[in-house]
Amino acid sequence: MSHRALLALGSNLGDRWANLGGAVAGLPDVVAVSRVYETAPVGGPDQGPYLNCVVRLETDLDARALLDAAHERERAAIRRSGVRWGPRTLDVDVLWIDGETVREPDLEVPHPRMFERAFVLVPLGDVAPDLVGEVPDDQGAILAVGSLDPATGTRGD
């Protein structure tokens, strides 16, 4: 049985657009992609801005299978990140799966901090407005900079 799942994608190293586009193209069952936003990093060391988006899937995959797909996309982007909350080529987080709650050491769904981060909530509002409440305004500028095609991951502005 198919259900809605939401994943957050972010990149601030290398070709950020290509990193996001490759991830979108390689994820299963994508039906919608938020606008792409440029955002200031939150926490961690001094680093450059991120491109962030949220994808909506209609899938029969469970949380563990979606985490595996997220890790595969990160490997394909040759994920580089040596510091917690540091710069990275690609970060993919499982945010939400309708009707599913997971509390495991390496996976929590719903994502425990998704409602605290404007860089997640703003794009989340594009693809799942029913989940978004008040967006925190203390995390710097969030600027819509373009879009990605849900089927191909190609850039469209």
Q: Which residues are known catalytic residues?
A: 79, 88, 91, 93
The torsion angles phi and psi of 127, rounded to 5 degrees, stand at -115, -15
Residue ranges of the alpha helices (H) in the chain? 16-26, 63-76, 118-127
The torsion angles phi and psi of 23, rounded to 5 degrees, stand at -65, -45
CA distances from 43 to 75, 87, 103, 117, 138 (A): 23, 11, 24, 11, 13
CB count within 10 Å of CB 98 equals 12
